[in-house]
Amino acid sequence: KRKIIIGSRGSKLAILYAEKAKEKIMSILDGKSINKIEIKKIITQGDKVLDKRVSEIGGKGLFAKNIEKELLDKKIDLAVHALKDMPSIETKGLLTNIFLERNDPREVLVTKNGNTLENLKKNSVVGTSSFRREFQIKNKRSDIQCKLIRGNVETRIKKLDENFYDAIILSYAGIN
How high is the pLDDT of residue 153? Answer: 86
How high is the pLDDT of residue 46? Answer: 64
For residue 28, count other CB atoms closer than 10 A to its CB: 8
How high is the pLDDT of residue 81? Answer: 86
Query: Would you please indicate which residues are annotated as catalytic (active-site) residues?
Result: 85
How high is the pLDDT of residue 13? Answer: 81
How high is the pLDDT of residue 62? Answer: 66
Distant-in-sequence contacts of 13-16, Cβ < 8 A, 24+ apart: 13/152, 13/153, 13/173, 13/174, 14/80, 14/81, 14/82, 15/39, 15/41
How high is the pLDDT of residue 52? Answer: 66
How high is the pLDDT of residue 73? Answer: 94
Contact by Cβ (8 Å): 107, 171 = yes
Contact by Cβ (8 Å): 170, 108 = yes
Instruction: Kindly list the averaged pLDDT for each block of 10 residues, start to end, along the chain of length 176.
Output: 87 87 85 80 73 62 81 94 78 86 85 92 94 92 94 89 95 80
Q: Is the pTM of this model over 0.85?
A: no
Angle at 58 between CA 57 and CA 59, to 5 degrees: 110
Partner residues linked to 6 by β-bridges: 39, 78
